[in-house]
């Protein structure tokens, strides 16, 4: 088990390092940063000044190592647009994205577990087909379109919820539904498939033969085993959630990392852009690492591979 963890940890570190290099070089190589900072019509002298101020006159590899060391030591630099330290910006906005991510995940599981279980128990009946329809609809719906339908319904027509902002819990309701419904279909399909497989297993027949109630069989025996692959999917889906949060937070002007990412991109605020890309990627790397270790712990067969 320790060997497995160390191996996965090594891979995670390598991936994080590669991501940091990509986050840095991608933005450097795709244009002249000095021009982006100073503006299109900047004079040569202004460009020279910008290059000196931001250290852009040094070799790129030196700039990267310098940036990497500073980032590792917690110095994320200063935002060009917001004029404040990137670290304080990022940490101010992190809780919003964290709340949104967790509530969306919760919402997704809340609808996908019951629907997936019901669809498996009553497979090939109208219940199964209805659950499938909900999943198919969710997968086809562009999340920004679904978000705007929610706004039309709950904010404009019913006047129940605020359109944008992040001050109260009510501001999180629509973003949670929009983002959660976006990732729910994948969970639903996996839970349904897992449950159908598990319900045919011998130990379920034994449990039934023992005279356990159908409820106990499904909840305590079947669902627990069908949940194993869900753990792995949760990590992958959290990656989707982080990406989707850029769109959803922007629509609802929810002041989190996704909205910050969008703002930094439209304002060409390179220091912020780099850190947000790096941060969201590292969060994803850590989550998949945690999921891998959790899976290896749940299912010893994985450790041997």
Instruction: Tell me whether residue 11 or residue 216 sits nearer to other proteins (CB atom).
Output: 11
Asked whether the beta carbons of 233 and 185 are under 8 A apart, the reply is no
User: Which 88-127 residues touch other proteins, going by CB under 8 A?
Assistant: none
**Distance set, CA 221 to CA 117, 135, 194, 225, 303 (Å):** 13, 25, 12, 7, 24
Question: Per-residue DSSP letters for 68-107?
Answer: HHHHHTT---B-TTT-SBHHHHHHHHHHHHHHHHHHHHHH
- Considering the rule CB under 8 A, would residue 229 count as an interface residue with other proteins? no
**In the 8-state DSSP scheme, what is residue 200?**
T
C-beta of 33: minimal distance to other proteins in Å? 9
Which token pair is 81?
């647009």
User: Which 254-273 residues touch other proteins, going by CB under 8 A?
Assistant: 261-262, 265-266, 268, 273
Single residue of 39, 55, 114, 142 touching other proteins by CB under 8 A:
142
CA 277/CA 299 separation, integer angstroms: 33
CA 259/CA 281 separation, integer angstroms: 16
Size of the site for other proteins (CB under 8 A): 54
- Considering the rule CB under 8 A, would residue 151 count as an interface residue with other proteins? yes
- Considering the rule CB under 8 A, would residue 140 count as an interface residue with other proteins? yes
By the criterion CB under 8 A, which residues form the site for other proteins? 11, 14-16, 18-19, 22-23, 26-27, 30-31, 36, 136-137, 139-145, 148-149, 151-152, 156, 189-190, 192-193, 196, 236, 239, 242-244, 246-247, 250, 261-262, 265-266, 268, 273, 276-277, 280-282, 284-285, 288
């Amino acid at each position: 088990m320790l060997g497995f963890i160390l191996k996965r940890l090594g891979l995670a570190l390598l991936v994080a390092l590669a991501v940091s290099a990509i986050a840095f070089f991608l933005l450097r190589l795709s244009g002249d940063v000095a021009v982006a900072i100073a503006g299109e019509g900047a004079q040569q002298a202004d460009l020279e000044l910008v290059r000196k101020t931001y250290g852009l006159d040094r070799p790129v590899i030196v700039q990267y190592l310098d940036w990497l060391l500073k980032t590792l030591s917690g110095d994320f630099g200063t935002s060009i647009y917001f004029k404040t330290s990137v670290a304080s910006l990022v940490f101010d906005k992190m809780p919003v994205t964290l709340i949104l991510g967790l509530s969306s995940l919760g919402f997704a599981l809340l609808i996908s577990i019951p629907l997936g279980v019901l669809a498996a128990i009553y497979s090939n009946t109208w219940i199964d087909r209805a659950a499938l329809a909900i999943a198919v609809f969710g997968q086809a719906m562009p999340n920004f379109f679904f978000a705007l339908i929610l706004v039309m319904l709950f904010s404009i027509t019913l006047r129940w919820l605020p359109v944008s902002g992040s001050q109260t819990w009510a501001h999180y309701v629509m973003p949670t539904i929009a983002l959660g419904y976006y990732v729910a279909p994948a969970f639903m399909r996996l839970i349904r498939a897992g449950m159908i497989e598990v319900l045919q297993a011998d130990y379920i027949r034994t449990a039934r033969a023992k005279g356990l109630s159908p409820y106990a069989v499904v909840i305590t025996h079947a669902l627990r085993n069908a949940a194993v692959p869900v753990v792995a999917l949760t990590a992958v889906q959290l990656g989707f959630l982080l990406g989707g949060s850029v769109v959803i937070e922007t629509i609802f002007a929810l002041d989190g990392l996704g909205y910050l990412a969008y703002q930094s991109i439209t304002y060409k605020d390179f220091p912020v852009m780099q850190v947000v890309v790096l941060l969201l990627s590292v969060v994803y790397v850590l989550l998949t690492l945690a999921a891998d270790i959790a899976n290896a712990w749940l299912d010893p067969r994985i450790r041997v591979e």
